[in-house]
Amino acid sequence: MNVIELTKKLVSIPSPLGDTSGIEEFVCSRLEQVGNVSAELRPVKGLGNNVIGRVFHGDDLPTILLNGHLDTVEVCKGWSMDPFEPKIEGDRLHGLGSADMKSGVAIALDTFKKLAALGTCNVIFAGTIDEEGDSNGAFALIDEGIQADLCIIPEPSGGTIMMGCRGRLIFEVDVRGASAHGSRPEQGVNAISEAGRFVGELDRLELLKDEKLGTGSFCPLEILGGTRTLSVPDTCWLKIDRHYVRGEDRAGLLEQLKNAVGNMGSHATFDISPWKARPTPFLEPYITENEGLAERFTKAVGSEFSYGKSVGDYNVFAKFLPTVVYGPRGVNWHSPDEWVSIESIQKCAEGYGRFVNSMNKGKSSVF
């Protein structure tokens, strides 16, 4: 089964966040077809299982970790076709997860099989779950002590080599006003109105610029508040996404939001803190240095470098391992009628193949 057919098969197996058992079993069965592989399902906090495959050839050899997340977002409204029935139109392979990232998982499985046969390196395939949630699967692997000399992730990167990415924090904001009769709003402090003013202040905040990662961003994600009676709402709750770059940290970002409140001159009170409900650490920005096995990979692939806007499991691994992202070009991730370029899948698979060939030449000074 080539990478295109394997992508189609993976797309045909529904695997929305929190319900990945079918794809876990399929990927495990694929790994078990590789000679001398040790394949297993590893539970992740009641969310499902990571799928791990290992081939070990020697303590003195480098270890390469191939990672791909097995979960997708849920089906959203607006699909014009069956999201689990792969459909090819010209260069486009349509289907939920086709770009994000079942084509990448197919490439990772193909590359795992080829590297495993070499005998010049140890290789691990890690199919993680909950990437579309809080990256519990990736953090579980780190907590288990997974180690490698290079982590390669075929997430969709537009056919470029992604060498770094912004980080992400989520803040929650409790706004407290003062109730009054709704016919006399001037006698109270409307928490919803003050929350709206606060959101407006976000557009005026200065953002630090990183030479590679660009600037960060704010995005209000959720707002809750109101009353069923004719009363001035005295409470409102906000959830704010904050992508950030190197040189910024949690304390500084929190202080920035508090200063925004100070600029408002509001009569409401604002309690701002990192989102307490997140079960895993927030994801930090990173840059992977082009050296060692990472340099061998980038030379073999030969593509230009890029730097990511959003976050993923790569942020988790990059804190502990040299991590390079290289995947195909796709459109409509997290949107109706998602598709991936077939030509781009093939081009990426060929790039990974060149890396495999470079490893077949034996040890060198880059190890």
Query: Active site residue: 24, 71, 110, 210, which one?
Result: 71
Q: What whole-number distance in Å separates Cα of residue 149 and Cα of residue 28?
A: 23
Query: Active site residue: 100, 131, 210, 248, which one?
Result: 131
Q: What whole-number distance in Å separates Cα of residue 18 and Cα of residue 2?
A: 28
Q: Could you give the 3-state DSSP secondary structure of residue 339?
A: strand
Q: What whole-number distance in Å separates Cα of residue 1 and Cα of residue 86?
A: 15
Q: Could you give the 3-state DSSP secondary structure of residue 19?
A: coil
- Determine whether 271 is an active site residue: no
β-pairing, 87-89 with 209-210? unpaired
- Determine whether 131 is an active site residue: yes
Residue with tokens 């004719």: 230
DSSP state string for 195-264:
HHHHHHHHTTS---EETTTEE-EEEEEEEEE--SSSB---EEEEEEEEEE-TT--HHHHHHHHHHHHHHH
β-bridge mates for residue 63, sequence order? 122
Active site residues: 71, 131
